[in-house]
């Protein structure tokens, strides 16, 4: 949508020019103006234009545009008629004609002219002759023009080759200049008493809520000079977080087109002045939204407060002279794709039809046991919206929503209409909305005075409810279907995200991020480690990141909710009560009425936190495997309630989230156990051997594995003698690691019992075969190391099916240091022998597992020759440098991650150190 506003002056005439033939409605139609009756000569003082795309939601947007424009111009008396007509004409353009719609509002001294143009000039328009009946308002075609004929003072249709334009003119009520509405003349003794001269503070607020203008009366009332407050938010002066009696926040009030109510402002002296304010939302010369606030002391509210409306005329005259109820005409044309807009317009028309002070509409739940507030006017709608009340409430049939009811005085039957408790309404008439005998909702109109309604008003309201019930139910079912499709898509996406991680912290974060802001304004997740543990606050998220710390601090100070396994959402009042008390204490300390606090976050932060959790808070248990593992807490800001559809969706999400959280917990526990067992299979720190450098590099394949099928060991056997081993169990993972533990511990035990290398391996072979079906064959290089006094080292090795150890001499030659023998775990009778190898000073012995030599890149394999080539380049390097160079060459040989375990054991004899 594109909009433009040009206040003042006389803009160019936007209507089509040229020699165009007027349609028959303008020339001859009864009630349609002639061309010379149009207000071309009227001085246009303001102009607002907007364009709307050809989609269903544009109808609601157009209504809001016209309503805000006319209220900003101060034409509240004709807003409803203008909105109804615009809605019909825009619906014709964007829904029926399927083109975009251009809406133009022109303000003049005598009223408002609104033009709606579409790009479908060939569309047939029903013609109206002088004495032709336009038919029922329920018929599909021509309803917009019928409304123009019924509600507008003048109207017509213009054509161009590319556009069709319908316009209507609404005249302002004939009232004395300067009056908005008039009340009855009162005796002097009944007039309100003013304390001295009445001072009216005029304050202007810019689009971000900062004060931009401050007059002399404002200085006198509150004690601040203009330069002290200009540029500061008005909310900084607010002493009460919400308006008493209505619970409408000042921030919300500043955003409304027009608002009247009470709140408290803190003066320069620290005292709070109760004021009655009238807010009007306007646009400045630059087109920016701005709010003008008129304030008087609360006991002088009669200066600003709008009097009760006089009796409204309920009927208009049709072309045949018959009385036609505008509300009935309106109900004949609901917007099928805008349930909220339809309900809101219904309550506004119902209120005006019965001259009430408020009206409300509730829709029944699927089981018809409760009614949910979906629209209201004249009531604190933010507090009531989506609140639920039982169908059967209060004494007798007057409390039943299934029958029409008239309450002459609610103070006599308190609780008969729970929705009106504490609102000041005394008389009310309610009627059911039924479709095929089934209760689908309830419509009510209330007034502040007693005995305002009788059975006659109930019958009129019931007639209107019967007209609208089917359209409301159809729109509700359409909305419910859209919500269900959206819920299914949401749950599918949530399941994919939750299934994509086994990390506990990430699961907690996903739970919160999926609920905020889609389902709630803020979210807190409590977890329970075991049945003996208390709930722990694990994660907090708010849609406004600046409020997370304050919310977390507040929730940390109150007891967590009870871990009740009962499914479904339950209301938790503790956060709201704690926030209210904290805000009250902070406000009192700021006025010097309470105990000073050594550490405080400031009144602004405290009140912001109170507003964040002041609405409804619900708790859903996180139940997995028949155990409560935590709670999911969802909250709304001040005065808001959760819809039942949202709670049902949150319950579905909580079940999936609970299972994902418990899976993450089990995975974490099993991973910790696995890692602990794996670490027990690794040898302790390598011993220091005088005269021999030793370096080991070990890499287990597989994510999260610290030990696999490859293993190594280096340990002292007795003084001056050390055992070393490097082996490879068939396979990888836990099964291979189990044989690894058996082999490493058996080698140490047998070697220290004095057995030689062949005997040690033969007994280890028998132990592996004793494992039966769990046994796995094993390749093993085992040896004993004797450092010599001349700086050399003697080794006795047995190579049982393992890659042969390589010896690097000082001259750069590489040779195998042993001969191959049978592997272990296959045959029972083995005849093994040991070989003696002497390492001269500067020599290196390199032992590896087959994960090194079998490293592959496509069809290429590193192999024994490739390893020999790498080792040839290591002459003169330390044992650590040799092992690192070999590992680096193996990693660079292929781009993929290793698929097999790898172990490298390098021993080097540096020779004797001479002084």
Q: Strand, helix or coil at 703?
A: coil
Report pLDDT for 611. Answer: 64
pLDDT top residue among 650 and 611: 650
pLDDT at 395 over 60: no
pLDDT surpassing 90 at residue 677: no
Report percent pLDDT > 70 for the chain. Answer: 77
Spacing of C-alpha 884 from chain mean position: 51
Highest mean pLDDT among 341-355, 597-611, 788-802, 888-902: 788-802
According to the model, what pLDDT value does residue 829 have? 84
Distance (Å, whole) CA 753 – CA 603: 77
Token pair, residue 284, equals 């400045």
Q: Which three-class secondary structure state does DSSP give residue 756?
A: coil
pLDDT at 108: 84
Q: What is the mean pLDDT of residues 188-193?
A: 62
Reference 704, options 672, 729, 680, 736; nearest CA is 672
Q: Quick one: pLDDT band at residue 246, thresholds 50, 70, 90?
A: very low
Report pLDDT for 904. 93
What would the mean pLDDT of 795-812 be, rounded to a whole number?
93
Higher confidence at residue 707 or residue 600?
Answer: 707
User: What burial letters (b/e) apply to 360-386, b meaning 16+ CB within 10 Å?
Assistant: bbbbbeeeeebbbbbbbbbbbbbbbbb
The more confident residue out of 772 and 211 is 211
Comparing 10-14, 275-279, 415-419, 641-645, the range with the smallest average pLDDT is: 10-14
Mean pLDDT of the region 613-637: 85
* Residues contacting residue 344 through CB under 8 Å, at least 6 positions apart: 375, 377
- Output 246 or 357, whichever has higher pLDDT: 357
**Rounded-to-integer distance, Cα 119 and Cα 448, Å:** 48
75-78, long-range: CB < 8 A, 24+ apart = 75/107, 75/111, 75/112, 75/172, 76/180, 76/258, 77/172, 77/173, 78/111, 78/112, 78/170, 78/171, 78/172, 78/173
Residue 597: per-residue pLDDT: 46
pLDDT at 127: 47
- 715 pLDDT exceeds 60? yes
Q: What is the pLDDT of residue 307?
A: 57
Say what the alpha-carbon torsion angle 462, 464, 465, 468 is, to the nearest 10 degrees. Answer: 160
- Mean pLDDT lowest for which of 327-331, 446-450, 481-485, 687-691? 327-331
- What is residue 241's predicted lDDT score, i.e. its pLDDT? 52
Judge contact between 624 and 617, C-beta under 8 A: no
How do residues 97-149 score in pLDDT, each as one tens digit? 778 889 999 988 778 999 998 877 654 444 444 444 444 444 444 566 777 77
The answer for 48, left when phi > 0, alpha when psi is -120 to 50, beta otherwise, is: beta
Average pLDDT of 507-518?
A: 85
DSSP string, 216-270: HHHHHHH---HHHHTTSBGGGGBSSSS-TTT---HHHHHHSSEEEEEEEEE-TTS
Provide the total of helices (H) and of strands (E) in the chain, helices listed first. Answer: 21, 36
Asked whether the predicted pLDDT for residue 190 surpasses 50, the reply is yes
Q: What is the mean pLDDT of the chain?
A: 77
Average pLDDT over residues 402-424: 81
Tokens at residue 709, please? 């099928």
First-to-final CA distance of the chain: 91
Which three-class secondary structure state does DSSP give residue 814? strand
Mean pLDDT of 543-553: 83
Highest mean pLDDT among 280-284, 552-556, 754-758: 754-758
On the question of pLDDT at 804 being above 90, the answer is: yes
Measured CA to CA, the distance from residue 251 to residue 721 in angstroms comes to: 84
Which tokens is 641 given?
């309630």
- Please give the helix or strand (H or E) that residue 905 lies within, else none: strand 902-908
Query: How far, in Å, CA of 683 to CA of 711, rounded?
Result: 9
- pLDDT band per the 50, 70, 90 thresholds, residue 784: very high
Helix (H) or strand (E) holding 522: strand 522-527
Strands, E assignment, 342-485 = 358-364, 370-377, 388-390, 405-407, 427-435, 438-447
CA distance 54 to 50: 13
Q: Identify the pLDDT of residue 665.
A: 84
Q: How confident is the model at residue 49 (pLDDT cuts 50, 70, 90)?
A: confident
The per-residue pLDDT for 175 is: 58
Does 325 have pLDDT greater than 70?
A: no
**Residue 546: count of CB within 10 angstroms of its CB:** 9
Residue 278, pLDDT score: 87
Say if residues 797 and 806 touch (Cβ distance below 8 Å): no
pTM for the model: 0.45
The three-state secondary structure class of 484 is helix
Cis ω for the linkage preceding 517 (within 30 of 0): yes
For 558-611, write each residue's pLDDT tens digit. Answer: 888 888 888 888 888 888 777 777 767 766 665 555 554 444 444 445 566 666
In this prediction, residues 199-224 reach a mean pLDDT of: 91
Q: Compare 184 and 119 and report the one with higher pLDDT.
A: 119
Concatenate the DSSP letters of all residues of 310-344 into one string: PPPP--EE-TTS-EE-HHHHHHTS--TT-HHHHHH
């Amino acid at each position: 949508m594109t909009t433009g506003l040009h206040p003042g002056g006389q803009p160019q005439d936007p209507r089509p020019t040229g020699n165009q033939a007027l349609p028959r409605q303008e020339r001859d139609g009864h009630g349609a103006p002639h061309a010379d009756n149009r207000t071309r000569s009227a001085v246009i003082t303001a102009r607002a234009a907007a364009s709307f795309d050809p989609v269903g939601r544009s109808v609601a947007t157009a209504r809001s545009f016209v309503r805000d424009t006319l209220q900003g111009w101060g034409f509240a008396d004709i807003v409803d008629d203008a909105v109804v007509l615009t809605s019909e004409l825009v619906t014709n353009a964007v829904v029926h004609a399927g083109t975009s719609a251009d809406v133009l509002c022109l303000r003049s001294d005598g009223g408002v002219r609104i033009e709606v143009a579409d790009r479908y000039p060939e569309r047939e328009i029903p013609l109206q002759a002088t004495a032709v009946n336009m038919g029922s308002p329920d018929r599909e075609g021509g309803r917009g023009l019928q409304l123009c004929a019924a509600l507008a003072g003048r109207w017509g249709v213009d054509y161009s080759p590319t556009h069709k334009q319908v316009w209507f003119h609404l005249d302002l009520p004939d009232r004395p200049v300067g009056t908005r509405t008039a009340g009855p003349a009162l005796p002097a003794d009944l007039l309100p008493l003013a304390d001295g001269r009445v001072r009216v503070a005029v304050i202007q607020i810019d689009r971000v809520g900062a004060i931009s203008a401050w007059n002399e009366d404002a200085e006198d009332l509150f004690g601040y000079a203009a330069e002290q407050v200009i540029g500061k938010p008005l909310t900084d002066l607010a002493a009460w977080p919400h308006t008493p009696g209505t619970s409408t926040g000042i921030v919300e009030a500043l955003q409304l087109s027009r608002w009247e109510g009470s709140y408290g402002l803190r003066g320069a002296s620290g005292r709070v002045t109760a004021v009655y304010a009238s807010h009007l939302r306007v646009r400045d010369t630059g087109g920016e939204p701005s709010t003008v606030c008129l304030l008087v002391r609360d006991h002088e509210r009669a200066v600003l407060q709008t009097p009760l409306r006089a009796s409204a005329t309920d009927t208009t005259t049709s072309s045949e002279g018959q009385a036609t109820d505008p509300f009935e005409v309106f109900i004949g044309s609901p917007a099928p794709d805008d349930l909220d807009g339809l309900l809101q317009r219904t309550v506004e028309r119902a209120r005006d039809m019965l001259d009430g002070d408020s009206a409300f509409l509730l829709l029944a739940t699927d089981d018809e046991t409760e009614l949910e507030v979906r629209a209201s006017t004249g009531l604190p709608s933010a507090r009531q919206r989506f609140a639920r009340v039982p169908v059967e409430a209060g004494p007798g049939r007057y409390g039943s929503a299934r029958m029409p009811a008239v309450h002459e005085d609610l103070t006599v039957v308190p609780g008969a209409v729970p929705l009106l408790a504490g609102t000041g309404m005394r008389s009310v008439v309610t009627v059911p909305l039924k479709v095929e005998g089934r209760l689908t909702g309830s419509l009510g109109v209330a007034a502040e005075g007693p005995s305002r309604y009788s059975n006659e008003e109930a019958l009129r309201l019931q007639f209107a409810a019967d007209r609208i019930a089917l359209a409301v139910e159809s729109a509700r079912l359409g909305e419910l279907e859209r919500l269900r499709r959206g819920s299914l898509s949401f749950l599918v996406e949530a399941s994919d995200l939750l299934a994509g991680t086994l990390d506990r912290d990430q699961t907690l974060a996903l739970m919160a991020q999926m609920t905020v802001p889609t389902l709630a304004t803020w979210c807190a997740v409590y977890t329970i480690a075991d049945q003996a543990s208390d709930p722990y606050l694990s994660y907090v998220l708010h849609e406004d990141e600046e409020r997370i710390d304050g919310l977390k601090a507040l929730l940390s100070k109150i007891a967590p909710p009870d871990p009740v396994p009962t499914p479904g959402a339950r209301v938790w009042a503790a956060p709201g009560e704690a926030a209210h008390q904290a805000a009250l204490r902070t406000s009192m300390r700021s006025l010097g009425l309470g105990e000073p606090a050594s550490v405080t976050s400031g009144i602004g932060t405290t009140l912001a936190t109170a507003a964040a959790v002041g609405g409804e808070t619900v708790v859903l248990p996180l139940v997995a495997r028949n155990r409560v593992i935590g709670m999911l807490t969802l909250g709304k800001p001040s005065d808001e309630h959760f819809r039942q559809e949202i709670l049902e969706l949150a319950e579905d999400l909580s079940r999936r989230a609970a299972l994902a959280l418990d899976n993450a917990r089990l995975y974490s526990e099993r991973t910790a156990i696995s890692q602990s067992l794996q670490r027990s299979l690794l040898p302790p720190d390598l011993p220091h051997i005088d005269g021999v450098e030793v370096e080991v590099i070990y890499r287990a394949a597989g994510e999260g594995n610290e030990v696999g099928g490859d293993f190594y060991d280096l340990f002292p056997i007795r003084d001056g003698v050390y055992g070393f081993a490097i082996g490879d169990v068939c396979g990888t993972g836990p099964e291979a690691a189990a044989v690894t533990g058996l082999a490493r511990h058996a080698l140490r035990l047998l070697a220290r019992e004095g057995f030689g290398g062949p005997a040690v391996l033969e007994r280890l072979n028998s132990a592996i075969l004793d494992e039966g079906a769990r046994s796995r064959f094993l390749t093993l290089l085992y040896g004993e190391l004797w450092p010599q006094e001349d700086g050399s080292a003697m080794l006795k090795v047995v190579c049982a099916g393992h890659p042969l150890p390589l010896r690097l001499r000082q001259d750069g030659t590489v040779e195998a240091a042993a001969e191959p023998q049978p592997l272990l775990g296959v045959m029972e009778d083995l005849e093994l022998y040991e070989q003696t190898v002497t390492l001269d000073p500067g020599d290196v012995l390199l032992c590896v597992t087959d994960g090194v030599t079998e490293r592959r890149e496509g069809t290429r394999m590193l192999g024994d020759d490739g390893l020999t080539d790498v080792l040839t380049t290591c002459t003169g390097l330390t044992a650590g440098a040799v092992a690192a160079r070999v590992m680096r060459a193996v990693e660079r040989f292929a781009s993929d991650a290793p698929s097999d375990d790898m172990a490298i054991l390098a021993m080097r004899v540096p020779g004797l150190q001479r002084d």
